[in-house]
Structure 1
């Protein structure tokens, strides 16, 4: 007679004794069962924890802890777990950011709890950025529709817009171009601070321009903001502007390979642009003089590719702008500089 142990229970087998294969099969099933039991216990534990989450504050606190525990990356409108959790929870509940503290202790409906926990799970498991989960991002105090057809707004150019590009822009611009517009956030925000300006939103992607048109309608600017499809300046022959602002794709190959998982949800067309990130920027610089008015300005974000710009054009005195709220790699050139250096810019294309 053979005796085996299974979780403390004695199992008695009559002769003949079990063989090697039967024993191996039994042990495999035993440990597989143990793993399944552990998974079920963990699942029940998590269910017990989440079942205790009843209020807005409970969910914000729990999300903060989970984001830290799972090493979530922050870089799409927030830079820390608290702001990320607050943005996700309040946004999902359609509550304002500046909410009275007493509201945080309001109990949630069952369906609200279910929706919140589903979104928090996706943020962690799938690494989907919060603005995509909510379908909304904020830029310059304005709300924009966003999805995975467009880059999530986060450019430091927002500071320049809020300051109306002072002190560099002497006069009110009559015509503004947002080149590589994506969601349209930069151009629409410019239209907000310059209410008499006509604004063109240009992009290569038809999908992105669909989102930009939705945002034009959202802000009621159809009468003076319009979209143009084309590669760089290709869709704007003969047109000139007082201000050209661009947040083009500029991530170099090395940085793109190392980007956190969250960025994999954004369109690659809006991020990567060649080994040094400057494939499009080269062409923009070569053609900018042909699209700026006499006293116009060109402002372009290139982020970490600033080092490549400086190495490529050491002769050019780019004005690299500073930001109080963080951000770097944004340069400014006057129309005169673009004209003076056009031959050089064209030689680098």
Structure 2
């Protein structure tokens, strides 16, 4: 199986499993797990922030960042295709009473002008604009990489209006691999940011949320309330440390493989790339073939290649460390065969 459904499909490597088995552990909830503490310190340094907390998931990172820095009745500003808006179960609203204002974009990157227009003037009858979130890279808009000047322009709008600037950095290190811009430069001036360990880095679970020391104290309260506190989490944190040592360079390979897949799919009649491929995610359309995207994906799956049908004739493909260049070539061949048979 060539599994391009998502980079969440990665499995821990033999070296990572060995590191997990040998991890020195303690009680994370009491602050006594040395491996977890080391991962938090290292990630905070990587992002240029004061402190960090280890979370079971990136979804919890987003939710805790929102709950810690907003109050019920507030409104947050996000892209309309963002993970926060589409695939987190409306958790900010369900748990925190926080509403979401989505911005329509072509590729998941909104402008400073859009952010400015979305921030509400103070009014008794309106929600209070409280937080602006940037997703870098974008999950459902083709893995778009935010230009640094666009990131900073949106950050500056948030700061000028007294709002929290938050970065959903689930695939931030893919953006780093694509541009050479450091993670710390991308999140400079942001109040909170996080990276995922269970996507391109290949860990079985986990993410790390960063911010000021005072923020992390309050974030821990929400982590505990939400059932996220763990015991010997060093077994999981060891995977994160191993990934930071051994898998970061792989992200450049993943980006290159996505570009190779892009080039191969472009050569198939009836297949159209939806947006320029910038990282390890790409979107393509099969509308010109006159078949539903689900049918196309199902036919590819029968040939041992798994894509993700996302609706509106579009399909998403995501490269990762479990897919090598030979797997990319197999995916192109399967897509070509299916396009010929269905078209």
**TM tier relative to shorter chain:** 0.3 to 0.5
TM-score by length of 2: 0.32
**In terms of Rg, which structure is larger?**
1
- The one of the two structures with greater contact order (alpha-carbon pairs below 8 A, sep at least 6) is 2
